Amino acid sequence: MAELLLINGPNLNRLGSREPSVYGQRTLSDIETQLSDHAGQAGHRLHTFQSNAEHELVERIHQAGDEAVAFILINPAALTHTSIALRDALLAVAIPFIEVHLSNVHAREAFRQQSYISDIARGVISGFGPYSYELALAAALRELENNQA
Ligand code: DQA
């Protein structure tokens, strides 16, 4: 059994009511519950964390390093485009991770097309709404299986 961690950054606690035409109708707790169930069915455990504060996200990533988390799924939201601190935290713990976005950031404003973490991610999934998280979990589970084999 592996421990996985789903991290969501600023404003994603407002999913469901926040710009539904861009981010969809589903709430974050709905998405978290579904993903935790899927991970559980696959014999793993998914922990979830959301914060609007950069330093709390950095702390949670450090904690993951101490907890033997095997894989991180992370949607850093706006911090994707600004945060060297998050990049450095992910490098510090060296846990493989997938960068997730609900919207297709490459089809939006120019400032969203820069990511401080894409080049160090195992992969990037962007543009499928809440389904982006399901795709990311499926990819993470496949990676874990391949690493065990
Ligand atoms: C987002 C895209 C970011 O540009 C934006 O700041 C978000 C959400 C997404 O999931 O599409 O808050 O990460």
Render pLDDT for 2-49 as a digit per residue (tens, 0 to 9). Answer: 999 999 999 999 999 999 999 999 999 999 999 999 999 999 999 999
pTM for the whole structure:
0.97
Is 101 labeled as catalytic in the residue annotation?
yes
DSSP state of 94: T
Q: Is residue 23 among the annotated active site residues?
A: yes
Neighbour count for residue 54 (Cβ, 10 Å):
18
Q: Which one of 81, 83, 103, 135 would you pick to mutate in the ligand 1 pocket, going by the greatest count of ligand atoms within 8 A of its CB?
A: 103
- Residue minimizing CA distance to atom 8 of ligand 1: 77
Q: For residue 42, count other CB atoms closer than 10 A to its CB.
A: 18
> From the CA of 148, how far away is ligand 1's center (Å)?
32
